[in-house]
Amino acid sequence: MPKASKSKFDPKVFLAKVGDGKAILKFDKSQIVFSQGDAADTVFYIQKGKIKVLVVSEQGKEAVVGIMEPGQFFGEGCLNGHPLRISTTVAMEQCVITSIAKSAMLAALKSEPRFSELFMSYLLGRNSRIEEDLIDQLFNSSEKRLARLLLLLANFGKDGVPQPIAVQISQETLAEMIGTTRSRVSFFMNKFRKLGFISYNGKIEVHNSLLNAVLYDKPEIVRNDD
């Protein structure tokens, strides 16, 4: 009987329900989930909406370092012994989020192999993304970095068709994420639109041609300096 019970464990159902050490939270657009410097004792899982991750330097300069979407965890640094939050997380739209106390998270990881697999898969995917971002910053022009970021924000490749970026993101935020200026982002966005790589219809829609330009290093992408 215990084995049968274990086989029925569904990590997604587990994450969607209130339980011991778990709560379902709702955040409105622009509402802060946690702030840099807060005590870190909870892991969060996004059921619905997108979360912006930003950091503030000692000089007070703020920078966006990531955007989290449904199916992703954040705040997991507390599991690695970080007592304080090293970033601020803000809802970019209405969000539904599962909060899991550190003790409940550790217990679930220890007792439920399928949950451990889900969490490990997320960590490995995030690690690969960080490595790709580092290579992107080191070797690619700001134009190509912007192209890649737009493809990532549109979840391009998941179903093979063009799709709009789900939330409105300012050019200033895009500039912060790729390490360039807002004016350069504006220039590249206008260029992408003229080339048919993207279109505006209330929201940005990314086309297959942008993916092809990045994959095959077309001159209009790679011959531009920062």
CA distance 98 to 44: 6
Answer whether residue 2 shows pLDDT above 70. Answer: no
Query: Which of 120-124, 158-162, 167-171 bottoms out in mean pLDDT, i.e. has the lowest?
Result: 158-162
Task: Domain ranges for the chain, please list them.
Answer: 11-114, 139-222
Query: Which of 74-78, 102-106, 170-174, 206-210 bottoms out in mean pLDDT, i.e. has the lowest?
Result: 206-210
Do residues 54 and 64 make contact, with C-beta atoms less than 8 angstroms apart? Answer: yes
CA distance 70 to 205: 19
H helices of the chain, in order, are 2-7, 11-16, 102-111, 113-139, 142-153, 171-178, 182-194, 208-215, 219-222
Q: What's this model's pTM, rounded to 2 decimal places?
A: 0.76
What's the pLDDT at 140? 84
CA distance 9 to 13: 8
CA atoms within 13 A on the CB side of 27: 26
CA distance 42 to 22: 9
Burial 174-199 (b: 16+ CB within 10 A, else e): bbbbbebeeebbebbbebbeeeebbe
Q: Which whole number is the average pLDDT over 177-191?
A: 92
Q: Which H or E element spans position 225?
A: none
Of 32, 28, 34, 69, whose CA–CA distance to 50 is shortest?
69
Q: In the numeric block, which tokens belong to residue 156?
A: 């391009």
Asked if CATH classification 2.60.120.10 holds for the domain at 11-114, the reply, yes or no, is yes
Q: Is the dihedral of CA 29, 48, 189, 135 positive or negative?
A: positive
Answer whether residue 160 shows pLDDT above 80. Answer: no
Coil, helix or strand at residue 90: strand
Q: What is the largest CA-CA distance in the chain?
A: 64
CATH fold group of domain 139-222: Arc Repressor Mutant, subunit A (1.10.10)
| More confidently predicted of 65 and 1 | 65
Q: What is the percent of the chain with per-residue pLDDT over 70, rounded to a whole number?
A: 88
Q: Which whole number is the average pLDDT over 60-65?
A: 84
**What is the residue-averaged pLDDT of the chain?**
87
Confidence of residue 15 (pLDDT cuts 50, 70, 90): very high
Angle at Cα 224 formed by Cα 163 and Cα 200, nearest 5°? 25
